Amino acid sequence: MEMTPILPSPASRHTDTVRCVAVHGSCIASCSYDGTFRVWDANSGQLILGPIAAHGGSHVNWIAYSSGGTRIATAGDDNRAAIWDANTGVVLREIVGHTACVLRVAFSKDGKRLVSSSRDHTVRIWDIASGECIGKPLTGHTNWVDPVCFSPDDTRIYSSSDDGTIRIWDAETRTLVVEPMRMDTPVLSMTLSTDGKYLVSGSASGKIVMWDAQTGVAIPTRFMDRKHHVWDVAFSPDGRKIASASQDTTIALWDATDELKQHDNVKQMQTMGETHSVGFRIPAVRVLTTAVRDADDVAAEIGFPLRGHTYAVNSVAFLPDGRRLVSSSQDTTLRIWDTETGETVIGPLQGHTGNVVCVAVHGSRIASGSYDGTFRVWDADSGELILGPITAHGGKWVEGIAYSTDGMQIATAGDDNRAVLWDAGTGAALHEMAGHTDWVMCVAFSEDGTRLASGSRDTTVRIWDVASGQCIGEPVTGHTSWVQAVCFNRDGQRIFSSSGDVTIRIWDAETRALIVDPMKMDDRVLSMALSPDGKRLVSGSYSGGIAMWDAETGAAIQTPFRDHGAPVWGLAFSPDGRKIASASEDKTIVLWDATDDWKRYDIDDEDVDKDNA
């Protein structure tokens, strides 16, 4: 089945991610991370209203039409919902009460109430006429609440969450009608059939599930899992088809009338980018989608699935241009990625014969350390090996590697209980730093290059004089398990360390005293990175969690980071501090936008072309 897109003129297009569409008759309303919503003619593609600036220019996360089509509701990152005149774009009500970003809104069938969901873990019901909250919030979810809707008779409210559950509430009593329905990962999308009998949900793992909307019982289907996030699902108005929109850049159509088989005639459609929203235009002969970017911008979009590492990704580091990223893996290779296209531009770089656990970057040089007992230096522009292999630590595992700020020296951490300083140009050993009583797991230079910090399985941090190779003072003690990562702040006055004891600690580099109480994660803290300006610290845990901290106070900073679901072995800030990369046991690298509410994009090793074969 061929589908010819109706594209708006370049002058009228959104300028950032188009998050959602809503349909009423021949009108299509769209909202965007560019801080606006717009209304289009579905027949001609012409803009008929807008752009309307909404939510103070912050992200507009969702949009919905009232049943009569006279009103539009939007959800925004300013913690508010808003109601608009659908014909004029005039704001009628600003709805205030949530304490975090509002993610979704939905009108009741009778048009008298609006339901909203938020990152504050609650659902609220609002009176349209007054804009006031009706009663107390619906509480029970333990993570963001995203998809939300009323039943056709307005007696029930359905909500789904990043906590992996879907809940059915009595709209009057606010009590749960049935036990929560559970999916395997965060529930990203949900839709109710027109007759209210069936509910379909999509998850972060790519699963699509059908439920009995009255009892909450799962209904067996032949839905095939997508390879990536299912951002949206929609029933056709007649209830005979279901559309799913996925991060794998495809829309799948499913026949909901005959054992829910995938639609024979429209198996799947390729879109021009990661698809965030899908809807049917009445009379259900056209599918509407929203993609991350317009067709002429798609080449620059990060987040497309790609072939990549075949085992755990252990370490990541940005190159100085901020566009390229190097990664190392248990598959014994390194790869250099273009973060704008999501493609491997150089690699895999082969030569190591064991797990490549660490990488460090200086200019156009990449240093890598491996369990094969060596380190190597590569040219970032050509991928050529320019130094090594250099046997280190008596052939034992190389656990960590770092460049000095001037690039003249390399430090390595090894399973021989030592840190070693090397001449970065020749590979000659300069100092062997002995003192730890167990494996040395990590090393980091001070900004001025005069000191080296090391962390060990002996639970201590040591500070070394680079010129002499001697330990400065007593070890830094306090951790009760391995020290996995360590770094200095920019002025060298503080040292940050993270450990298997689930804490991150900030030490005074001179007095060795704790500056703030230890910051705690949910599991062993495997990785850590400090932002270039020294203000933020990001950490990753064995459980797959990623957390952000104020590097001065140790206070946690709320973010919408999604867990990897597997150990996070490496983290890195880009040189300008605008991106964060995380490397995980799940074979993926994830890029996070650190400039605007931490928008998430994936670089994934799966090949979605297999889906299309």
Tell me the backbone φ, ψ of residue 6, rounded to 5 degrees. -100, 110
CB 28, CB 14: distance < 8 Å:
no
Q: Cα(451)–Cα(464) distance, rounded to whole angstroms?
A: 5
What pLDDT sits at residue 604? 44
What pLDDT sits at residue 13? 76
SS3 content of the chain, % helix, strand, coil (to 5): 5, 50, 50
* Threshold 0.85, pTM exceeds: no
Supply the DSSP string of 194-224, one letter for each residue: TTSSEEEEEETTS-EEEEETTT--EE---PP
Q: Cα(565)–Cα(545) distance, rounded to whole angstroms?
A: 7
CB 379, CB 364: distance < 8 Å:
yes
Tell me the backbone φ, ψ of residue 206, rounded to 5 degrees. 100, 5
Q: Cα(249)–Cα(265) distance, rounded to whole angstroms?
A: 19
Instruction: Write down the CATH number for the domain with range 311-391.
Output: 2.40.10.480
- Spell out the residues 6+ positions from residue 413 whose beta carbon is closer than 8 angstroms to its own: 369, 398, 399, 400, 401, 419, 439, 440, 441, 442, 443, 454, 455
Q: Cα(453)–Cα(443) distance, rounded to whole angstroms?
A: 6
What pLDDT sits at residue 219? 86
Q: Cα(580)–Cα(589) distance, rounded to whole angstroms?
A: 10
What pLDDT sits at residue 224? 62
What pLDDT sits at residue 248? 57
The parts of the chain modelled with pLDDT lower than 50 are 1-11, 259-307, 596-613
Residue written as tokens 């590569």?
Answer: 378
Beta strands in 438-510 (DSSP E): 440-445, 451-456, 461-465, 483-488, 494-499, 503-508
Cβ neighbourhood burial of 130 (10 Å; 0-12, 13-18, 19+) = exposed
Is the peptide bond prior to 532 cis by the omega test (within 30 degrees of 0)? no
Q: Cα(225)–Cα(211) distance, rounded to whole angstroms?
A: 16
Picking from 38, 35, 30, 29, the residue whose alpha carbon sits closest to that of residue 16 is 35
What pLDDT sits at residue 601? 39
Q: Which two tokens stand for residue 127?
A: 């009176």
Cβ neighbourhood burial of 360 (10 Å; 0-12, 13-18, 19+) = buried
Choose which CATH entry (3.40.47.10, 2.130.10.10, 3.30.390.10, 3.40.50.300) describes domain 10-247.
Answer: 2.130.10.10
What pLDDT sits at residue 569? 95
Other beta carbons within 10 angstroms of residue 152's beta carbon come to: 16
Cβ neighbourhood burial of 406 (10 Å; 0-12, 13-18, 19+) = exposed
Radius of gyration of the chain (CA): 26
CB 443, CB 431: distance < 8 Å:
no
Q: Which two tokens stand for residue 23?
A: 């349909």
Amino acid sitting at position 558: Q
Signed CA dihedral, 544, 545, 546, 550: sign only: negative
- H or E segment at 328? strand 324-329
**Domain residue spans in the chain?**
10-247, 311-391
What pLDDT sits at residue 272? 35
- H or E segment at 453? strand 451-456
Residue 395 in 3-state DSSP? helix
CB 354, CB 392: distance < 8 Å:
no
